[in-house]
Amino acid sequence: MTAPEGAPTGEVEGQVDGGLEDPSELEPEQGSLDLASPDDDWTIADWEKSTATVLRKSKRMADDDADDLVWAKLTKRTLDGVEIAPLGTAALLERLESAGRPARAGDWDVRSLIGAGPAEQQNEFARVDLEGGVTSLWVQADQDTDLAGLLEGVLLDLAPVVLDAPTSPVAVAEALLALLPDGDIAVGTNLGVSATAAPDDLAAVAKLALDHGVLGVVVDGTAVHDRGASDVTELGWVMAAGARVLRVLERAGISITDAAGLIELRLAATDEQFPTIAKLRAARRLWSRVLELSGAADTTTRIHAVTSRPMMTRYDPYVNMLRTTVAAFAAGVGGADSVTVLPFDAPLGRPEAFGRRIARNTSHLLIDESHVAHVADPAGGAYAIEKLTDDTAVAAWEALGRLDGPDGPHQATLDEAVEATCEAREQQVATRKRPITGVSEFPNLAEELPEREPYDAWVGVESYAASFEQMRDSAPSAPVFLATLGSIAAHTARATFATNLLAAGGVAVEVAGASEGPDDLVRAYAGQPVVCLAGTDPAYAEWGEAAATALREAGAERVLIAGRPVPYADDSCAMGVDALAFLTRTREALA
């Protein structure tokens, strides 16, 4: 793809010698492959052939398909249509240009979120987090917040505070400034006025920040991410909102360079590892280009990554620890200066001490034990990541062109883009092409959710799992009778599939067990209104219809079948089924 006019430009850096020993001097172990052997000369065609062999065995390719079809079969696409290559090759970087590479080499700032709540309670959270290794605080406040009580005991010359005060940004900024020490102020302290604030508020807070030598503005892309925006839309919106800040502050008499120096970008990090790495790397390149076109001098802009709220689930919430770990890893590799890992139990209510501890320790494990932060731009030079970064940046630059307006991002254009993304994502979630572990896949109907104090931090968040979780919230009282045909070994595959699918909709099953004919199923049947046949295709052909007829005569009102549709069943379920639609029909029959 050719970059549009004004797109990020620069050069791709070459590969760096890691300083390893000369491979030719390493003696291979007995029976191992000699990596320095002249016979070890694999080509792309060899990879295509080997990969095609595997795909043919799994029935994803036909015997007469060309080997190079593997690229089409294995290339994934993001919701923006950006391709994720299955294999990185040098050819991906032909004519590729880039700039604004991540420069952070060293530990990222571990930032915890101190949400709205009683000052005494929030102060305890802040102090415990700081003692536990957090290095900065993201404080949500309003005009009534007792900021002095909330920050009591916090060393503001060591721990940066980033404000989030959408309803009263000037008053809260002044309250924080009154608390800051006369001498050194922690680097990274940010008065935090939103990029979408009223022009007068934006200018007033910016001037306060300039007077006190702190940051003043946050361009928060997580606000549109939480509504369901794609990576490209989020990036385009951030660039458009950032451009609005520059315009507003310039009109207020602040130079473009000074205005740029006040800004911090905030982006969501999801458990889609490679797209998140690419998004954060692309963000720096895009913003560098915006500043270049605006005439600003070279300015180092901080990027704050926050683990995604919509990706987290209320059911099986412990899986959120895994999601946030992947997201934090991707954020660090992508060059984020600050990372906030949201507690795994946050979707349930106000996080408790254990959730907050796991959240902060996630970053420390990645930094201190995995050494992820010890290399600047560790993804740099990786063919697939460089290509994905470039494609994401180009697509986001085009999105910026659609979203940018003289007074800020076009709301109607944003709404249209978010709606389209939500529809596409919902379709993938419904058919389980975008599985959600613990909710749409491998749900546990017997789980007991931990109780948490009510908390409104999730208001406005478009959870990816919402449709399935709403079903779980109102589980039907009647189970489905799972009419298993044949021996356990014969029926277990489809019985397991049907059980997991039904559980995703909050529907329990009662299993017949091993059977040899319709009479066995009728003896195990206990009057459930819905039954589901589960067995092999030969079993269906031999006595599936007889089983369905016998169960109807025994009282079954609706017969399902795990597998392909058949005339004697009312509904069917197999891989690729629209699970939400199937579960809705089944739950209606149970009701």
E runs forming strands in 32-88 = 76-77, 83-84
Query: Residues 189, 162: contact at Cβ < 8 Å?
Result: yes
**CA gap 200, 197 in Å, rounded:** 8
| DSSP H or E segment with residue 321 | helix 319-333
Q: What is the CATH number of the domain that holds 132?
A: 3.20.20.240
Do 517 and 381 share a domain, yes or no? no
- Rg of the chain's alpha carbons, rounded to an integer? 28
Contact yes or no for 525/512 (Cβ under 8 A): yes
Distance CA(494)–CA(478), nearest Å, equals 21
219 in helix, strand or coil?
A: strand
Say if 523 falls within a structural domain.
yes
Residue 232 shares a structural domain with residue 332: yes
My answer on whether 397 and 511 are in the same domain is no
Exposed/middle/buried for 321, CB within 10 Å: 0-12, 13-18, 19+?
A: middle
- The number of CA neighbours under 13 Å toward the Cβ of 269 is 33
C-beta of residue 533 within 8 angstroms of C-beta of residue 562: yes
Provide the residue range defining the domain that includes 480: 474-590
Between β-strands 190-194 and 480-484, what pairing exists: parallel, antiparallel or unpaired? unpaired
Domain count, the chain: 2
Terminal Cα distance for the chain, rounded = 53
Residues 277 and 131 in one domain: yes
232-241, 247-256, 296-305, 321-330: segment of lowest average pLDDT: 296-305
Q: Is residue 94 part of a domain?
A: no
Tell which residue, 387, 464, 401, 353, has the closest CA to residue 129. 353
Q: Indicate whether 368 belongs to any domain.
A: yes
CA distance 390 to 101: 12
Instruction: Report the 10 Å Cβ neighbour count for 49.
Output: 13
For residue 12, the one-letter residue type is V
Which residue, of 366, 390, 414, is where some domain finishes? 414
**Does residue 427 sit within a domain?**
no
Shared domain check, 409 and 514: no
565 assigned to some structural domain: yes
* DSSP state for residue 343 in the 8-state scheme: P
CB within 8 Å of 369: residues ≥ 6 apart = none
What value, to the nearest 5°, has the Cα angle with vertex 322 and ends 363 and 278? Answer: 70
| Three-class DSSP category at 560 | strand
For 589, what's the count of Cα atoms within 13 Å in the CB-facing half-sphere? Answer: 22
Same domain, 385 and 302: yes
Residue 25's CB is within 10 A of a number of other CB atoms, namely: 7
Give the CA diameter of the chain.
87
DSSP state of 516: S
pLDDT per position as a tens digit, 127-141 = 999 999 999 999 999
Q: How far apart are the C-alpha atoms of 317 and 177, rounded to whole Å?
A: 38
Domain boundary pick from 376, 399, 414:
414
In a shared domain, residues 481 and 410? no
Model confidence at 15: pLDDT above 70: no
Q: Does the pLDDT at position 333 exceed 70? A: yes
Based on the fold, state whether residues 317 and 225 are members of the same structural domain.
yes
When pLDDT is cut at 50, 70 and 90, the band that residue 22 belongs to is very low
Residue 36 lies in a domain: no
Report DSSP letters for 534-551, one per residue: E--HHHIIIIIHHHHHHH
Name which of 388, 372, 188, 202 is nearest 278 in CA terms: 388
Instruction: Summarize pLDDT for 260-308 with one digit per residue, the tens.
Output: 999 999 999 999 999 999 999 999 999 999 999 999 987 889 999 999 9
CA distance 234 to 255: 26
Express each pLDDT in 509-535 by its tens digit.
999 999 999 999 999 999 999 999 999
Residue 35 has a pLDDT of 55
Which CATH number covers residue 506? 3.40.50.280
Same structural domain for residues 172 and 315? yes
DSSP 263: E
Query: Residue 265: inside a domain, yes or no?
Result: yes
Q: Which of 393, 414, 435 is the last residue of a domain?
A: 414
376 confidence band (pLDDT: 50, 70, 90)? confident
pLDDT at 100: 67
- Does 316 lie in the same domain as 385? yes
If asked whether residues 500 and 407 sit together in one domain, one would say: no
Residue 12 has pLDDT above 80, yes or no: no
Q: Looking at the structure, do residues 391 and 312 belong to the same domain, yes or no?
A: yes
What band does 216 get if pLDDT is binned at 50, 70 and 90? very high
Question: Any idea of the CA torsion for 421, 423, 425, 426, to the nearest 10 degrees?
Answer: 160
The answer as to whether 70 is a domain residue is: no
Considering the chain, what is the average pLDDT of its residues? 91
Which is more confident, 13 or 362? Answer: 362
Q: Give the other-Cβ count within 10 Å of 30's Cβ.
A: 4
